[in-house]
Amino acid sequence: MTDRHRFTSPRALLAGVILLLWVGGLGFLVRREYFRPNTERLSEAALRVSPGAVYYAVMQGNRQIGFASSSIDTATTTISVDDYLVADLPVGGRVHRASARTHVVLTRKLHTKAFVVTFEGDADPIVARGRVVDDSLLILMLATGNNAPVDTQRIRLSGPILLPTLLPLAVALGEDPSVGKKYKLPVFDPVGLTPREVSLSVAAESSFVVNDSSSLDRTTGSWVGVQPDTLRAFRIVTDTGAGAAGFTGWIDEQGRVVQTSQLGFELRRLPYEVAFENWRLATAKGGGDAIVSEDRDILETTAIGANRRLDERVASLRVTLGNADLRGFDLTSSRQRLFGDTLVVTREAPSSLVAAYSLPDGGRKLMPELTMAEPLVQSNHPEIVRLAQRLARGQRDPRVVAERINRWVYDSLKKRITFGIPSALQVLRARGGDCNEHAQLFVALARAAGIPARVDAGLAYIDGKFYYHAWPEIFLHDWVSVDPTFGQFPADAAHLRFTIGGLGRQAEMIRLMGRLRIEVLGTR
């Protein structure tokens, strides 16, 4: 694996492993129109919710890499739901331990009152706390480390909310599931913090055999499942384009997940000792080795082999995209053209780098929403503002300032794989990371300087393969792709953009992984 391979770890992979294996996140917003005809049904169903817990092994093929649990506790006026996942994820040649935890407090009508979501990876933990006021206002507090300021947002709601951990419960208890039944839910993207409408359907019904208890095998020293029970289960499928906001998997009649899988990873429902104790013992014996082979590495198993080798700094690239549904992706731009299944990418000419405005205020007047701070892009923080001003040195040409920022990020960040949700301020302080961290810090610095900027994600060619990758775009006369991870300004034509935006949008690329085929038709 070359050095550049090691830094193409997009947040889409993180979303695929954490958000789809662990059915968690920051929240589903369900309109009153959805709840109104079902309020009585849900209220009655909530009375049938009983305390209990289920456990899962997180599997990669036949290898257990983690443990997950989901538990429900009931009180006179509330219901509490706790979900937890911890896994040793093979990324970039090494194992990275990540964990995600959700605590939700519901009313007896299954309306969310409060929640806490915690994600821990290689970087400082990300903690999101939410409090719902009268089903009309969500007060969201996001903290990205012990010393970072808390970002508080007030988000207007149009009705009660559910978290993604509760979606299977609401589907199962709200109405009797049956094959072909469809659900259309306006949701709040759990990562991108943006509303969207998600369509789900019941795709199949089947029976699963699940062991209720476990017994210690004295010969092997491991736990085995006993007392098998047959469950009636339904496969819930999210339609194209939901990304991190959706759920696909098998649930039982009580709305508890039986099985869900993505990218070669699977949550498999098992008794506690089989799910946890066997993994704990295997890890203690060295089962979680730090170095992983390419056949297990997420970067390598999701990379797409090219049919021909490309030169460095490709100026123009023509490829066909096959075996995948391309609807909903951001494939057309000033540098990309899609003709049927053929994508033509042309690197920006020098004339395209002449800006249509001057700093410091021209970009802010032109695109205020893309020069503002947002969660995890703290472009208004004094540390980021001071660095942006130092790099600009009074220069009024956005291209010159953007190129300085690009060079500084490339030179100043140590290149290493990190597994977490990047915060620009954390990256500035830690001075390291992969493409996600490079892109996030660049965008924050560019916005602090008054240059409209956003994150793109897609594929980048490296040494015979197309890897999932993230990089920034800046607006000059038009949008221009740059790559501070590789030190390219502008980025070469071997960058194929599929999405614009944060992790919520990047998660949509999950549906391409393992399916998309690329044929290189020509370059120059």
Q: pLDDT digit string (tens) for 455-475?
A: 999 999 998 999 989 999 999
C-alpha to C-alpha distance for 319 and 338, rounded to whole angstroms: 10
Residues with Cβ within 8 Å of 101's Cβ and at least 6 positions away in sequence, in order, are 24, 82, 83, 84, 85, 116, 117, 118, 119
Backbone angles phi, psi at 153, to 5 degrees: -125, 145
Q: Say if residue 264 is in the same domain as residue 323.
A: no
User: Does residue 8 form part of some domain?
Assistant: no
C-alpha to C-alpha distance for 427 and 441, rounded to whole angstroms: 7
Q: Which helix (H) or strand (E) holds 74?
A: strand 63-74
Q: Which residue has the higher pLDDT, 338 or 281?
A: 338
Give the pLDDT confidence score for residue 146 in this predicted structure. Answer: 64
User: Does residue 4 form part of some domain?
Assistant: no
Boundary of a domain, candidates 256, 284, 312:
284
User: Does residue 15 form part of some domain?
Assistant: no
CATH of residue 407's domain is 3.10.620.30
Q: Say if residue 272 is in the same domain as residue 310.
A: no
Q: pLDDT digit string (tens) for 332-362?
A: 999 999 999 999 999 999 999 999 999 999 9
Boundary of a domain, candidates 235, 255, 284:
284
Q: Which residue has the higher pLDDT, 257 or 272?
A: 272
Q: Say if residue 274 is in the same domain as residue 327.
A: no
C-alpha to C-alpha distance for 14 and 144, rounded to whole angstroms: 17
Give the pLDDT confidence score for residue 431 in this predicted structure. Answer: 94
Q: Say if residue 336 is in the same domain as residue 254.
A: no
Give the mean pLDDT of the chain: 84
Q: pLDDT digit string (tens) for 395-431?
A: 999 999 999 999 999 999 998 888 777 889 989 999 9
Q: Say if residue 415 is in the same domain as residue 490.
A: yes
C-alpha to C-alpha distance for 359 and 345, rounded to whole angstroms: 29
State the pLDDT confidence band at 164, using cuts at 50, 70 and 90.
low
Domain containing residue 425: 303-523
To the question of pTM greater than 0.75 for the whole model, the response is yes
Q: pLDDT digit string (tens) for 142-158?
A: 888 766 678 888 888 87
User: Number of folded domains in the chain?
Assistant: 2
User: Parallel, antiparallel, or unpaired for β 465-475 and 495-500?
Assistant: unpaired
Q: Say if residue 275 is in the same domain as residue 310.
A: no
Report CA-CA distances (Å) from 211 to 221, 225, 293: 19, 5, 32
Q: Say if residue 327 is in the same domain as residue 203.
A: no
Boundary of a domain, candidates 284, 312, 329:
284
Q: Say if residue 320 is in the same domain as residue 359.
A: yes
User: Does residue 13 form part of some domain?
Assistant: no
Q: Say if residue 279 is in the same domain as residue 368.
A: no
User: Does residue 14 form part of some domain?
Assistant: no
Give the pLDDT confidence score for residue 43 in this predicted structure. Answer: 55
User: Does residue 293 form part of some domain?
Assistant: no
Q: Which helix (H) or strand (E) holds 399?
A: helix 398-412
Q: Say if residue 223 is in the same domain as residue 348.
A: no
